[in-house]
Amino acid sequence: MTALVDEHPRLGVECVVRELHVPSSTYYRWRRAEKEPCERRRRDVELTERIKEIHTESGGNYGSPRVHAVLKREGVHVGRKRVERLMREADIAGVSPRRKGFTRRDPKATLETGTKVFFADPHSPWQRPTNENTNGLLRQYFPKGTDLSRWSAEDLEAVALAINNRPRKILGWKTPAEVFEEQLRSLQQFGVATTG
């Protein structure tokens, strides 16, 4: 409502609130709240800053239960759900405990590359389904335990070409090369500069 009045100042406050069936006192209370946040909002800002500090001190590991426990130890009386809400609003999340079925995050590689890097646990094929699918495709050509030194480089290249050029359901039963060519053609149609 305040945005409506701001966008159309010529209409006047009384006209807008009357049409929206809202008491004018409500409008003025909202305006006052925008300028002077209530005690709870001010407290939320302070708590969010402290939550960020606790999260940073933990190395980014602590989630809402641990952050709540630290605040409680410090004598801060705040509800668990309020901590959850503030962390969610500030886009802060802890690292989940390692459970069977989850991959591990490598913070050093993440910092060095700027990309989140994950590693699968040993003997956990369910954590790397693409790899397992590719192994299954390779088994169609080479049964498990096959000595690959028996095959020439040309034979291995032909198998790799066959696997890489298979039509894929996710691509509408097209090959990756076909989709790539379509993308290139569409870019050229829109006048994107190409080299060549």
Q: Are 64 and 83 in contact (CB under 8 A)?
A: yes
Residue-wise pLDDT tens digits, 128-160: 888 888 888 999 999 888 898 898 999 999 999
Lowest mean pLDDT among 6-10, 84-88, 98-102: 98-102
* Model confidence band, residue 104 (pLDDT cutoffs 50, 70, 90): low
Confidence at 40, pLDDT banded by 50, 70, 90: confident
Task: Please give the structure tokens belonging to residue 111.
Answer: 């910092």
pLDDT-derived band at 1, boundaries 50, 70, 90? low
The average pLDDT across 162-174 equals 91
pTM of the entire predicted model = 0.39
In whole numbers, what is the pLDDT of the chain averaged over residues? 82
Q: For residues 101 and 159, what is the distance between their CA atoms, to the nearest angstrom? A: 32
* Burial state string for 59-86 with b = 16 or more CB within 10 A and e = fewer than 16: eeebbbeebbebbeeeeeebeeebbeeb
Q: What band does 54 get if pLDDT is binned at 50, 70 and 90?
A: very high
Would you kindly state where each structural domain of the chain is located, as residue ranges?
Answer: 2-35, 39-89, 128-164, 166-196
| Residue burial 163-188, b: 16+ Cβ < 10 Å; e: rest | eeeeeeeeeeeeeeeeeeeeeeeeee
Is the model's pLDDT at 192 over the cut of 60? no
Contact 5, 19 (CB under 8 A): no
Average pLDDT over residues 155-179: 91
Percent of the chain at pLDDT > 70 equals: 83
pLDDT at 32: 77
The pLDDT, as a whole number, for residue 99 is 54
pLDDT at 132 (0 to 100): 86
pLDDT for res 47: 95
Residue spans of beta strands (DSSP E) within the chain: 104-105, 118-119
The pLDDT of residue 101 is: 47
Is the distance from CB of 36 to CB of 21 less than 8 angstroms?
Answer: no
Look up residue 143 and give its two tokens.
Answer: 């049964």
- For the record, the structure tokens of 92 come out as 């802060």
Q: Looking at this protein, which amino acid is placed at residue 104?
A: R
